[in-house]
Chains A and B, each alone.
Chain A
Amino acid sequence: MMIDLTDTSTHAVRDALTRARDQMGGPTTGMVLNLIIMTDESAQYDAVRAATQAGREHPCRVLGVIARDPDAESRLDAEIRTGEGAPGQTVLLRMYGPMGLHADSVVTPLLVPDTPVVTWWPRNGPAVPSGDPLGMLAQRRVTDAASAPDPGEALVALAVGYRPGDTDLSWTRATPWRSLLAATLDQQHGEITGGSVTAEPRNPSADLIAAWLSGRLGAPFTRDVSGGPGITEVRFTTTDGDITITRPDGRTATLSRPDQPDRRVALHRRDTTDLLAEELRRLNPDEVYGEALTRFAAVTGR
């Protein structure tokens, strides 16, 4: 069901949401969170689509905040979608004029009560997510440094403004790699004296993995550059020889250990829906991210 409300008020949007729920026979009763998406017209389609799909795992009310012409008269247009292949409700809020600077006043009355709030900036996230009016509403604030023109710089800025509850999708992208690296070190190995993480330039996930490894292992990990795609190699230098995981094609990785046969393992890159679903699985602060981020900023010294 789709409802279009033009030049409307939060009051009318709330009424429409309640009415839609009653008419649909209550498909939205199990919503587990509110997801605010700060986006613009060009990015909203993909972002909302990813959120709706992630909503299958985490039924949620998606509030898409789209800033329109800031010089126009203040006006709110709302587009409500429910029951379209996913549980939960999606509301697109288009804000014109000065209202765009006070988006929190529009969003707050539309939040499902008693339910956590997550704010996601698919692009152009603020340097201090917890300082943003919409970030303040949320217990989990999700940015994406990879969307910035200079991801490394974006990470440093995020590190300076870091508060518990911040996360970044470049960290989420690193999970399969980190999982494989952790599993690799579950096996017996020599003492690790250092290593490297190789990836295409401007890959914040690789930056964070290198910072995480050097922090956890207490050994220097360099960040080397290759042609990609994504991360192509992680190397542990150990007293028994090198352990490497190489992934030249973005799909299948090969694990090589001293005195052991090479082993292959699928290590595919994930789409935004999967990333978001992982991100929404846990809403408590990700302290390990905070440490890796802080370490990265300290090492780059920018």
Chain B
Amino acid sequence: MTSNPLRDPRDRRIPRVAGPCVLVLFGVTGDLAGKKLLPAIYDLANRGLLPPGFSLVGFARRDWEDEDFAKITHDAIKAHSRTPFREAVWQQVSEGVRFVPGEFADDAAFDRLAQTVRQLDAERGTGGNYAFYLSIPPKAFPQVVGQLKRSGLSTPHVRPDGHLPWRRVVIEKPFGHDLASARELNAMLDAVFPESSIFRIDHYLGKETVQNILALRFANTLWEPIWNRGYVDHVQITMAEDIGIGGRAGYYDGIGAARDVIQNHLLQLLALTAMEEPVSFDASALRLEKEKTLSAVKIPEDLAVGTARGQYAAGWQGGIKVQGFLEEDGIPLDSITETYAAVRLEVDTRRWAGVPFYLRTGKRLPSRMTELALMFQRAPHLPFAATDTGELGQNALVIRVQPDEGITVRFGSKVPGSAMEVRDVNMDFAYGESFTESSPEAYERLLLDVLIGDPPLFPRQEEVELSWRILDPIEDFWATHGKPEQYPAGTAGPASADALIARDGRAWRRL
């Protein structure tokens, strides 16, 4: 198609808008759909980013009519949308809402689904473009993908106007539970959808702060000279949660903290921090640099001292008495699933040789926070008396991913007074408040990218496989070497994690 004369790169006001399409959502009764996906669809519509005629089809094992699903959608939007509720916008969204009841095994249900989307093409001009969002347990993927193929939904046909519609499939983590299963999953998807139309959502990559890592690093001159082993002493990447596993026992048992968080979120953060500058910000260049970095990650030689894991025991978290992991409903008493994982990685490149990257994540920790901290080396010489700098720590650059998104720079400053005394102070950048229309939720950004077909923020299969290559030996070691250490809920993790970093003469940042 020829380029659109109304679009001009200088015209920064006009946003990217998705073309006509249908979003087919599997798993509409799930938590994610209610809290994030349906509200995100409304917020996109409210910001004028969805095309006229955009339609949403829900598929689930419920005896619902279109109106029932519309009601569920309406309630989810009212409760969780970020932007104000406007009747006209809701009208626009609700006109395109359809529901198809059925089981994943039921051929007739998928035939009805195919009929429904074709009808939407005719009634609402959605142009035969379909995105399938699989917000369902991974074990159901093969069945659903198989049904999409069988019913012909996955195969686009050339339209009367000569235009070939697109098909996209969206999946959520976990992308397998090890390298072999990740490959299996991919082979199954790949048989039906080409790699370019598979969108793997890691919602961390949709966050403003995470995208800002790229801006911070590659739009400034300030950081690049010190962003290397010459100045950086070590890097700490943390995702701490204060909650327990809640009702997710069925998913969590056997998966654990490392597979749930380190494999995707933390390794992606590591890749963005450690990678070299991509030649451009298009998807392939960006992913290439991330893949290079992930392929250079080295795990500890002695996994017994280079990794740590734990399970939360009963304790007090935030003033509330909570039960331990083994006492949670649905968790067997002899479970060796870890709820805390820490690992010391290195990146074998000229830039990072010898700089440890400490990754940790856990549940029932003192507070909820995700951050990425570059801890700098101490000054090689301090021309002050030792007592003057007793309270001077390491300089630090901290990217706070959530909550309280922003950047902190920590450095020493003179304490006012007649004596020369140097103490650490913070310089803070906080993101403009999130209650404005322009600062989108991660899922909004990612859904829009799916509908537009813009892939840079979605990890490619190679990245997934490289991440499993890093994690698999650690998981194998853990599976054969005893049980995770208990740590009381509300504390900062097991003693072995403290020992892991203390061995290098360093300490974890306070949670």
Q: Mark A246-281, 1 if CB is under 8 A from B, else 0.
A: 000001110101001101111110000010011001
User: Which residue of A30, A183, A264, A284 contacts B92 across the interface (Cβ within 8 Å)?
Assistant: A264
Q: A252-B91, A263-B52, A264-B92 are in contact. Are A187 and B5 (CB under 8 A)?
A: no
Interface contact A56-B14, CB-CB below 8 Å: no
The answer to whether A7 has its CB under 8 Å from any CB of chain B is no
Q: A87-B433, A255-B52, A266-B92 are in contact. Are A185 and B161 (CB under 8 A)?
A: no
Interface contact B428-A57, CB-CB below 8 Å: no
Chain B residues whose CB sits within 8 angstroms of the CB of A278 once the complex forms: 13
Instruction: Pick out which of these stretches binds chain B: A97-105, A171-179, A221-229.
Output: A171-179
Chain A residues whose CB sits within 8 angstroms of the CB of B13 once the complex forms: 172, 175, 178-179, 278, 282, 286, 288
Interface contact A182-B46, CB-CB below 8 Å: no
Q: Is the interface of A mostly helix, strand, loop or mixed?
A: mixed
The answer to whether B219 has its CB under 8 Å from any CB of chain A is no
Interface contact B15-A179, CB-CB below 8 Å: yes
Interface-central residue, B13, B46, B86, by most chain A CB under 10 Å: B13
In chain B between 215 and 234, which residues have their CB closer than 8 angstroms to a CB of chain A? none
Chain B residues whose CB sits within 8 angstroms of the CB of A261 once the complex forms: 53, 122-125
In chain A between 22 and 48, which residues have their CB closer than 8 angstroms to a CB of chain B? 29-30, 32
Q: Quote the shortest CB–CB distance from B227 to chain A (angstroms).
A: 24
CA distance A31 to B416 in the complex (A): 25
User: Which residue of A251, A255, A264, A288 contacts B8 across the interface (Cβ within 8 Å)?
Assistant: A288
Count of B interface residues, CB-CB < 8 Å: 45
User: Which residue of A252, A255, A257, A287 contacts B10 across the interface (Cβ within 8 Å)?
Assistant: A287
Interface contact B14-A277, CB-CB below 8 Å: no
User: Whose C-beta in chain B lies nearest to the C-beta of A183?
Assistant: B17
Chain A residues whose CB sits within 8 angstroms of the CB of B12 once the complex forms: 282, 284, 286
User: Whose C-beta in chain A lies nearest to the C-beta of B1?
Assistant: A188
The answer to whether A180 has its CB under 8 Å from any CB of chain B is yes
Q: Quote the shortest CB–CB distance from B252 to chain A (angstroms).
A: 37
CA distance A278 to B15 in the complex (A): 12
CA distance A251 to B87 in the complex (A): 9
Q: Mark A45-81, 1 if CB is under 8 A from B, else 0.
A: 0000000000011110000000000000000000000
CA distance A286 to B14 in the complex (A): 12
Q: Quote the shortest CB–CB distance from B381 to chain A (angstroms).
A: 32
CA distance A266 to B125 in the complex (A): 16
Q: Quote the shortest CB–CB distance from A41 to chain B (angstroms).
A: 29
Interface-central residue, B1, B6, B7, B19, by most chain A CB under 10 Å: B6
Chain B residues whose CB sits within 8 angstroms of the CB of A29 once the complex forms: 428
Interface contact A179-B14, CB-CB below 8 Å: yes
Interface contact A58-B432, CB-CB below 8 Å: yes
Q: A261-B125, A266-B45 are in contact. Are A182 and B4 (CB under 8 A)?
A: yes
Interface contact B19-A185, CB-CB below 8 Å: no
Interface contact B52-A216, CB-CB below 8 Å: no
User: Which residue of A175, A251, A265 contacts B14 across the interface (Cβ within 8 Å)?
Assistant: A175
Interface residues on A, range: 35 or more
The answer to whether B152 has its CB under 8 Å from any CB of chain A is no
CA distance A48 to B187 in the complex (A): 59
Chain A residues whose CB sits within 8 angstroms of the CB of B439 once the complex forms: 57
CA distance A176 to B91 in the complex (A): 18
Chain A residues whose CB sits within 8 angstroms of the CB of B92 once the complex forms: 252, 264-266
Interface set of B (CB-CB < 8 Å, partner A): 1, 4-8, 10-15, 17, 19-20, 45-46, 48, 50-53, 86, 88-89, 91-92, 95, 122-125, 127, 161, 163, 428-430, 432-433, 435-439
Interface set of A (CB-CB < 8 Å, partner B): 29-30, 32, 56-59, 87, 172, 175-176, 178-183, 185-188, 213, 216-218, 251-253, 255, 257, 260-261, 263-268, 274, 277-278, 281-282, 284, 286-288
25 cross-chain CB contacts under 8 A: A29-B428, A30-B430, A56-B433, A175-B14, A180-B52, A182-B4, A186-B7, A216-B5, A216-B6, A216-B8, A252-B91, A261-B125, A263-B51, A263-B53, A264-B91, A264-B92, A265-B48, A265-B50, A266-B48, A266-B88, A266-B91, A268-B86, A268-B88, A286-B12, A287-B10
Q: Which 4 residue pairs of A and B lie closest in terms of their CB atoms, listed nearest first?
A: A263-B52, A263-B53, A57-B436, A265-B52
